[in-house]
A = this chain, B = another copy of it.
Amino acid sequence: MVGVRRVRIAVTGAGGFLGRRLVRTLLDRGRIGADGPVVTRVVAFDRVAPDLPEDPRLQVRTGDVADAAAVAPALAEADLVFHLAAVVSAQAEADYELGMRVNLDGTRAVLEALRRTGRRPRLVFASSVAVYGGPLPDPVGDDVPLAPQSSYGAQKAMGELLVADGSRRGFVDGVSLRLPTVVVRPGRPNRAASAFASSILREPLTGRGAVCPVPPDTALYLTSPRRVVEAFLHAATLPEEALPMGRAFVLPGLTVTVAEMLAALGRVGGAAAVARVRFVPDETVARIVRGWPARFEAATARRLGFAADPDMDSILHAFVEDELGGAPA
């Protein structure tokens, strides 16, 4: 990417909420970074055609990401690939075959397609802090071994190994970003065990009730959608020699308790918003969430210029601005 003047981009999982946001940002800005290469083409790939604005630079392609023959044409000319297609954590846990197919076979099909192009594009892979688990130091440093405690985490860890090996072999130039829990997600709750983290903020801000299945002192490691999109774009521009061995690292995030999230909700949405959240303990969800580390050093990412959101309030303000037209319900 360094020194390139024009860039053709492909995004898998382009119909997801982060994918759509990334594609829109790429088209709006028209380049990668302030004086980076000009975006001449964005291929948006997903299972069904994503809801995206008309744009002469945009090409929508549909297909199964695990089907190498379907994914290859979408990646054939890309200089830069964002591989976001995935089945979320609770769904990958509930349906092992689906998770393996999308999260493992999908990543493999993307790498195989890129290997065959011989173009060696920069590949930004959306991994997850779910690759960590078990007894962990607090905070979690960048040198802690992976020990996924979910099939989703195992599949993301395997994806990282594929990206690292493909980079070592020289058929991609990969970067795997381990994403914190992303809040506030717009729309309906998804099937991630972390869905409540968005629900307890989104529903009250849109006048609806929400249920919190974990105690108020539960700490989470969070990032905003805005910050994730900026991280994807920043990862695209990193010089290869600056990347760590293994090409994977945790993104900086905010460590926030549920109580702190609700305090911020009160400041942004008022006491009425906070009153819309009921605590209804769900031991299954609570057990999964307790298994997630809430504090990471993210030293590699900080050295490379990634940063966390400044605070919880700014995450909520961004949601109100981006999704609610500037004012909570």
**Is there contact, CB below 8 Å, between A161 and B144?**
no
* Total interface residues in chain A, CB < 8 Å: 26
Query: For the complex, is A266 an interface residue (Cβ under 8 Å from B)?
Result: no
Asked, given contacts A134-B245, A158-B158, whether A165 binds B147 with beta carbons under 8 Å apart, the answer is no
**Considering the chains assembled together, what is the distance between the CA atoms of A57 and B161 in angstroms?**
40
**Is there contact, CB below 8 Å, between A246 and B147?**
yes
**Which of B158, B168, B245 is A161 in contact with, Cβ under 8 Å?**
B158
Q: Which of A194-211 touch B at CB < 8 Å?
A: none
CB distance from A89 to the nearest CB of B (A): 13
**Considering the chains assembled together, what is the distance between the CA atoms of A115 and B97 in angstroms?**
11
CB distance from A129 to the nearest CB of B (A): 15
**Which of B108, B135, B145, B151 is A146 in contact with, Cβ under 8 Å?**
B145
Chain A to chain B contacts (Cβ below 8 Å), 22 pairs: A96-B115, A100-B108, A133-B245, A134-B245, A135-B245, A144-B145, A145-B145, A145-B146, A145-B246, A147-B164, A147-B245, A147-B246, A148-B161, A148-B164, A149-B168, A151-B165, A151-B169, A154-B162, A157-B161, A158-B158, A158-B162, A161-B161
Query: For the complex, is A55 an interface residue (Cβ under 8 Å from B)?
Result: no
**Is there contact, CB below 8 Å, between A161 and B165?**
no
- Enumerate chain B residues within 8 angstroms of A158, measured Cβ to Cβ: 158, 161-162
| Copies of this protein, total | 2
Asked, given contacts A154-B162, A157-B161, A164-B154, whether A146 binds B146 with beta carbons under 8 Å apart, the answer is yes
Closest residue to A151 on the B side, CB-wise?
B165
Closest residue to A171 on the B side, CB-wise?
B96
Query: For the complex, is A283 an interface residue (Cβ under 8 Å from B)?
Result: no
Q: Which of A111-148 touch B at CB < 8 Å?
A: 115, 133-135, 143-148
CB distance from A111 to the nearest CB of B (A): 10
Most chain B beta carbons < 10 A, residue from A134, A143, A144, A162: A162
**Considering the chains assembled together, what is the distance between the CA atoms of A133 and B164 in angstroms?**
12
- Enumerate chain B residues within 8 angstroms of A245, measured Cβ to Cβ: 133-135, 147
CB distance from A121 to the nearest CB of B (A): 18
Knowing that A147-B164, A158-B162 are A-B contacts, what are 8 other residue pairs whose CB atoms are under 8 Å apart, sorted by A's residue number? A133-B245, A143-B145, A145-B145, A148-B165, A149-B168, A151-B169, A154-B162, A154-B165
